[in-house]
Amino acid sequence: MEWGLVPAVGSAANPYSRESVVRYTQSTEWALDSLFFIAAHGDRQDFSVEEIAKAQQVSPSYLAKIFQQLTKAGILRSHRGAKGGYSLGRLPEQITLLDVATVCEGSIPLYDCNAPAKSCSLGAKCLILSTFREAERRMQETLNGVTLQDLVESMRRNMSQATWLGVEGAPAGRPAEASAPARKN
């Protein structure tokens, strides 16, 4: 099967429209935006949930729940105390969009075949199942190929388009300790 480029979501008139078959939850969007915010402010270590929620204009209590998941996964590191907050748990080039989506969405397949219930034994020969598995594989490959560092570098090239970040040419974010595990393949 020959695959072409996947058309962009939305239209030229509205690139933010949600015309897509696959939809990630708001948790994934808020997590990515939050991590992007932290990475873009590389000169700082600790950020409060409230500060990041205010920049994104989102609920601090819901964002705090997302941060708990990201901390448990090692993507964020939490610091207690008066000057506490959150920082990246790994280097920005070691955190992929797939890492974040997996934390927020889980790793459940997009298509779950009901073959046993309908007495179908096509298995890998099933065009429906193989097509969805290939689409999912390609989507995961694409998401795994983009890091927080890539987002920061893209933002630097298009600074006027990301004013909500409130940064002025700061270097890419670094976690307090650079002893992070290697990027997943």
The pLDDT of residue 10 is above 60: no
Domain count, the chain: 1
pLDDT tens digits for 119-168? 788 877 889 888 988 999 999 999 999 999 999 888 877 765 555 566 55
Tell me, yes or no, whether 116 lies in a domain.
no
Q: What is the domain extent for residue 71?
A: 26-107+146-165
Q: How many CB atoms lie within 10 A of CB 64?
A: 15
Q: What is the CATH number of the domain that holds 152?
A: 1.10.10.10
pLDDT tens digits for 71-98? 999 999 998 877 779 999 999 999 999 9
CB 67 within 8 A of CB 34: yes
Tell me, yes or no, whether 71 lies in a domain.
yes
pLDDT tens digits for 17-46? 556 667 788 999 999 999 999 998 887 778
Tell me, yes or no, whether 101 lies in a domain.
yes
Mean pLDDT estimate for the chain = 79
- Return the pLDDT at 8: 46
Tell me, yes or no, whether 51 lies in a domain.
yes
Tell me, yes or no, whether 77 lies in a domain.
yes
Structure tokens at 171: 């270097």
| pTM, rounded to two decimals | 0.74
Phi-psi region of 169 (alpha: psi -120 to 50; beta: other; left: phi over 0): left
What is the Cα–Cα distance from 75 to 35, expressed in whole angstroms? 9
What is the Cα–Cα distance from 97 to 31, expressed in whole angstroms? 10
CB 46 within 8 A of CB 37: no
pLDDT tens digits for 103-114? 999 888 878 887
Tell me, yes or no, whether 90 lies in a domain.
yes
Tell me, yes or no, whether 115 lies in a domain.
no
Tell me, yes or no, whether 118 lies in a domain.
no
What is the Cα–Cα distance from 71 to 25, expressed in whole angstroms? 19
